[in-house]
């Protein structure tokens, strides 16, 4: 159960990171956003990069 709670915690963290990255770079640094996603894909576990992408997608959908 502890690993499940840890997973939920990190899901939320990566969702927030994705939202913040999109909010900061959505106006002018789109290539930087792509580089960030590629960087995260290299260094994070595969499931966590999808949380970052979901955060970006949620903000993109709202805006």
Tens digit of each residue's pLDDT (9 = 90 or more) over 9-57 = 566 667 667 767 776 766 655 566 666 666 666 666 666 667 777 777 7
| pLDDT, average across residues 4-9 | 58
How far apart are alpha carbons 50 and 15 in whole angstroms?
A: 9
For the entire predicted model, the pTM comes to 0.36
How far apart are alpha carbons 26 and 24 in whole angstroms?
A: 6
Q: What is the pLDDT of residue 1?
A: 46
């Amino acid at each position: 159960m502890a690993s499940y709670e840890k997973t939920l915690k990190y899901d939320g963290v990566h969702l927030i990171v994705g939202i913040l990255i999109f909010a900061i770079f959505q106006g002018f640094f789109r290539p930087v956003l792509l580089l960030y996603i590629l960087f995260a894909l290299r260094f994070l576990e595969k499931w966590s990069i999808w949380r970052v992408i979901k955060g970006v997608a949620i903000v993109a959908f709202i805006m």
